[in-house]
Amino acid sequence: MALQDYRAMMERCSNCAGCKFIPFDKVKSLRFAENCPSIGYYNFMTYSARGRFQLSQSLLDGRAELDDTITNAIHACTSCGYCDIGCKITRYNLEPLEHNIEQKAYAVENGKVLEGQKPVIENLKKEHSMIPGTKKANRTDWAKDLGLKDVFKDKADVCFFAGCKYSYDPKLQKVAQNAVKLLQSAGVDVGYLGAADNCCAGRAHQMGFFADFKDRANANIKAFETAGVTTIVTPCSDCYHAFKRQYPKLGSNVKVLHIVEYIDQLIQEGKIKFTKTVPMTVTYHDPCHLGRLGEPYVPWDGKEKKIFNQIQIWEPRRPRYNGIYGIYDAPRNILNAIPGVTLVEMERIREYSWCCGAGAACNESNPEFSAWTAGERVTEAKATGADALVTACPWCKDNFVNAVDENGNKMEVLDIIELVQQAI
Amino acid sequence: MAFPRELYKALEDIVGKENISENIGVCETYRCVPSQSSAHYGPTKNWTPRPQAVILPGSAEEVQNIVKICNKYGVEFKASTTFWSTMGYIGGDFALQIDLRRMKSIKIDAKNMHAVVEPYAIAATVQAEAMKVGLNLNIPGVGCSSSTLANFSTWVAFGPNSISMGYGNENVLGMEWVLPDGEIVRTGSLASDDGWFCGEGPGPSLRGIFRGAFGAAGSAGVCTKIAVRLHPWPGPADFPTYGLAPAYKADWGPNFKCYTLCFPDWKSWARSIQYFYESDIAYSGHRQFNMFGRNLKGAMIEIISNHERQLTDLEELVNDPYIKEQTEKMRHDYQVVIAGFTPKDMEYKEKAVDYILEQTGGWKSEMMLEKDKHDYALLYLTRLGHKNLNYVMCGAYEGVLGLTGNVWKAIEVADEATALKRKWETEHTSIAATGGDSAMGCLSGLGGGGTTGWEFFTNFDSYDKNSVEGTYAFVETTQALMNKYAFGPDFCRWNSDVRKMNGYNYTQEEQNEMFKKAAQPWVFIYQYKIREAINPKNLCGSYVRTLDPKALEE
């Protein structure tokens, strides 16, 4: 698809505001009613999905140009995908998220990128990691001494894929190590890609760098095939989304599980047993790429057709991503199974969860916006009275750890694996 | 024409650099094509003009200072909130778009049963905050995604709850209003430092001047705060819902029922509505799902209330024997929400509904009593969070054959209007063929009953030139029927004499030409004099219909 291919959607958007608020049926307060970080921070209509549809028309028609302000507006979107969910509450034929990302790709094709994005993409190209400054040579340091099989040498039932953040961030490496140990102690035959371990490049796709995404994705798919990998387990929600939703478009058939799905399954099978009480009230943050964007990919090849003169339908039936089949219950099952833990919910959850602010590398390109977005979530988490904010994505965790609420206060932030570890 | 530097700098000094932009791309996103956002303009492919700058004030004082600067430099300005409607956009080349997004506070006064709200507080948020203290508000037909302040202060504001709560004019208790010349006026009891509790004072009302019956559509300065009346809410404070997106549902126990009541003909239909007026038992009343059309509504209800359904299923569902039968039974129908304040109250209201049906030969739709449909419709009508399903079938719609008036008068026209639209649906392909009758609207626009607010939804494709042009041709034909029955200008024309087809304002000369031929030109002269008094530089667009008395003398 190219930006021009979204013209019908641009002209059929009815400016209903669904892209800016949580589903109206779910609104419980003024404070937590909105759900687009981009317009939430920048305020101008331009930054909403509606504004982006309008902007694309103006760009394609030559009325607007890709100057610095517009380049920033295009990229200052975490690709969190909420606009897509909100839109689809009442519309069945618009794809705001796909359009937003295509608009970014249009900017990238025209050489319009943000300064903060350059080192991220350069590092991806050179070192196969989306964390600037990290080196390919150190990618698997975290896995030393874990006794992980190299799946190129020894077959394993599952291939553990840590992702960039767990691989390089010293604070998070321990979490990845504990995740592997947890699987091993539950009797899981687990391996990893060894020297072929690589970035999934999902964030490059979210940023509109399609060519860089495809390069890495194709390399990874080839590696999976060569090593005979059939099942991947990852603790990273961005990797999960990439493997689950984006890779199949390029031919990947590998089964993908997020670690929370696997742990939930192991708990249910009695292979993980909690022995300690963790007296704590927690609230859970649904990562965008595990939740609403974690729905399985369904292939579709069809076209629009009109019935009853002007009613637009897809022929054949097109998959409709409403976010409802994302991974929401598994992490909650885990938290509810840990003795002593009380789970309290925020107002914006599941398919209408608020974003952490780190998506599409906005933590690198637009750090103030990203920090504000994370701070909004910390404020919401604190409003529940919880002692800690738990999540299942390293990018979310990192952004929350560095964030403060509206009063300037921090909050304890835990990866769900850390909480599981405390109970064993 | 770009703003002079000293003008832009003066505006920037008021709100700060981050809250103003003259970037062309940014300003482009503050334009609209009326066929995308409708609100009774009529389909057109023209864009409204691009503003020279967009500004986001954070307080009434900032708005006042902006307006003063606009007066100093002769800049047209218009404020808007959610920008859903064409009427919120500027209509000139030397114009400033004011985006009130940053002003969204809500203060609930539970004791005195009102809320003081700023412009960007949408109805969903006002309702959510009000429900925490057992109160609710009238959410107009436009839905909860729209600004409560904009609806109540500058437009009509009737909807499902109007039958029990009244329409816009009946619910405004006080306003903080930046006049077009920059003066701030506070109305009602607020003006005498007695707070917001009463629209009629002590203190000047000015409600008639500011909003009248239909509102000035943002063309009389900027309203920065209003107090709206709140009404009792007997439901849960936290508004629980269940179900999967997009088909969320609500079960609030035995004291809430949503019925789709059906009747054998229009006469019994109208008589039943009169019973509802007299009995005061309806919490909400709306002919809602008929917006999908007489032939399609059963199938569409199945689609929207089931998270796995899609429009692709429509043809199959329309031909499903059970749905076909149920749809046929709902030919003359409407929805009511009955809310009991106590079990005894509910018992009484249930009996009253049954009595009305007995007296009129009506029945409750079986399909709409199925739990998933019932719970979907109850939530739909209470929050009006799915109102943008208006656009679901084709991406655009226009309301025609606006039968707003006495219910008996409206049904006189119903069959003829249905036949007219059906004929167009079968002879042309420009509008969706939904069955002719696609009339939707409230049982009463007025509190307690008295006037309907119907419009025939005409769905068309804003992306399809032929559909847009064909729809325009269709709306040309509906006026003749409206004239025949003395219903006045059709809905699709409500705003066609206040903004030109090319998206620009009318000049005074152009308005003079139109309104000097009006049956009662003095109305427009009166409005001209008011505008001269509060808006001497005529800076807010042409949505207030005015006639220069000199033109009439000529």
Q: Is A67 on the interface with B (CB under 8 A)?
A: yes
Chain A contact set for B314 (CB, 8 A): 307-308, 311, 313
Residues 324-383 of B with CB under 8 A from A: 379, 383
pLDDT for B217 = 82
- Number of compact structural domains in chain B: 5
A387 has pLDDT over 60: yes
State the nearest Cα–Cα gap between B102 and chain A, in angstroms.
Answer: 7
Closest chain B residue by Cα to residue A292 = B245
Question: Cα-atom radius of gyration of chain A, to the nearest Å?
Answer: 21
Compute the average pLDDT of residues B480-492: 87
Contact (CB, 8 A) for B226 and B117: yes
Residues B276 and B226 in one domain: no
Distance from CA of A65 to the nearest CA of B (A): 7
* Residue-wise pLDDT tens digits, B147-178: 999 999 888 889 999 999 998 888 999 999 99
Chain B hits for A324, CB-CB cut-off 8 Å, are 244-245, 307
Identify whether residues B376 and B243 lie together within a single domain: yes
Q: Is the pLDDT of residue B238 over 90?
A: yes
Give the global pTM. Answer: 0.97
CB-CB under 8 Å, A16 with B432: no
Q: What is the 3-state secondary structure (H, E, C) of chain A?
A: CCHHHHHHHHHHCCCCCCCCECCHHHCCCCCCCECCHHHHHHCCHHHCHHHHHHHHHHHHCCCCCCCHHHHHHHHCCCCCCHHHHHHCCCCCCCCHHHHHHHHHHHHHHCCCCCHHHHHHHHHHHHHCCCCCCCCHHHCCHHHCCCCCEECCCCCCCEEECCHHHHHHCHHHHHHHHHHHHHHHHCCCCEEECHHHCCCCCHHHHHHCCHHHHHHHHHHHHHHHHHHCCCEEEECCHHHHHHHHHHHHHHCCCCEEEEHHHHHHHHHHCCCCCCCCCCCEEEEEECCCCCCCCCCCCCCCCCEEEEECCCEEEEECCCCCCCCCCCCCHHHHHHHHHCCCEEECCCCCCHHHCCCCCCHHHHHHHCHHHHHHHHHHHHHHHHHCCCCEEEECCHHHHHHHHCCCCCCCCCCEEEEHHHHHHHCC
> pLDDT at residue A3 above 70?
yes
Amino acid making up residue B522 = W
Instruction: Give the domain CATH number at B167.
Output: 3.30.465.10
One domain, residues B217 and B338: no
Can you give the CATH number for the domain in which B20 is found?
3.30.43.10
Q: In terms of domains, do B484 and B400 share one?
A: yes
Q: Identify whether residues B114 and B156 lie together within a single domain.
A: yes
**How many CB pairs below 8 Å do chains A and B form together?**
231
Chain A CB contacts of B102 below 8 Å:
43
Based on the fold, state whether residues B381 and B253 are members of the same structural domain: yes
Question: What is the C-alpha to C-alpha distance for residues A316 and A307, in angstroms, rounded to an integer?
Answer: 13
Amino acid at the residue B170 = E
Question: Does residue B255 share a domain with residue B126?
Answer: no
A351 in contact with B, Cβ within 8 Å: yes
Tell me how close the Cα of A235 comes to any Cα of chain B, in angstroms: 26
Considering the domain architecture, whether residues B460 and B531 belong to the same structural domain is answered as no
Q: Confirm or reject contact between B466 and chain A (CB < 8 A).
A: no
Based on the domain organization, do B336 and B270 belong to the same domain?
A: yes
Burial class (CB in 10 A: 0-12, 13-18, 19+), A299: exposed
Q: Give the residue from B385, B409, B440 where a domain finishes.
A: B385
Average pLDDT of the residues in B120-134: 98
Decide if A312 and B461 are in contact by the 8 Å CB cutoff. Answer: yes
Q: What is the pLDDT of residues B246-265, one digit of tens each?
A: 999 999 999 999 999 999 99
Same domain, B515 and B395: no
| B26 at A interface, C-beta within 8 A | yes
Which domains, from first to last, does chain A contain? 117-268 (1.20.1050)
Q: What is the pLDDT of residue B37?
A: 64
Backbone dihedral angles phi then psi of residue A63, each to the nearest 5 degrees: -85, -30
Q: Looking at B467, B490, B505, which one is the last position of a domain? A: B505
Region of poorest pLDDT, from B42-46, B492-496, B504-508: B42-46
**Residues B493 and B516 both lie in one domain:** no
- Per-residue pLDDT tens digits for B83-106: 988 889 999 999 999 999 999 999
Structural contact between residues B368 and B297, judged by C-beta atoms closer than 8 angstroms: no
Pairing relationship of beta strands B256-263 and B363-364 according to DSSP bridges = antiparallel
Q: Any chain A CB within 8 A of the CB of B453?
A: no
Statement: residue A195 has pLDDT above 80:
yes
For A269-280, write each residue's pLDDT tens digit. 999 999 999 999
Report the residue of A22, A100, A309 to disrupt the B interface, i.e. the one with the largest count of B CBs within 10 Å: A309
Residue B150 contacts A, CB cutoff 8 Å: no
- Name the residue among B179, B392, B199 with its Cα closest to residue B293: B392
Task: Tell me, yes or no, if A65 comes closer than 8 A to chain B by beta carbon.
Answer: yes
Its domain, for residue B526, covers: 508-553
Residues of A with Cβ-Cβ distance to B54 under 8 angstroms: 44-45
CATH number at residue B457: 3.30.300
Binning pLDDT at 50, 70 and 90, where does residue B42 land? low
**B489 plus B517 within the same structural domain:** no
Domain end point (choices B99, B125, B147): B99
Report the pLDDT value the prediction gives residue A22, as an integer from 0 to 100: 98
Say whether A264 sits in a helix, a strand or coil: helix
What average pLDDT does the structure give for chain A? 97
Q: Which of A37-46, A250-259, B41-50 has the lowest mean pLDDT?
A: B41-50
pLDDT tens for B354-400 read 999 999 999 999 999 999 999 999 999 999 999 899 999 999 998 99
Q: In chain B, whose CA is at the least distance from the CA of A58? A: B28
In angstroms, what CA-CA distances link A112 with A101, A118, B233? 14, 11, 53
A93 neighbourhood in chain B, CB within 8 Å? 311, 395
pLDDT at B39: 57
Across the interface, do A69 and B386 touch by the CB < 8 Å criterion?
no
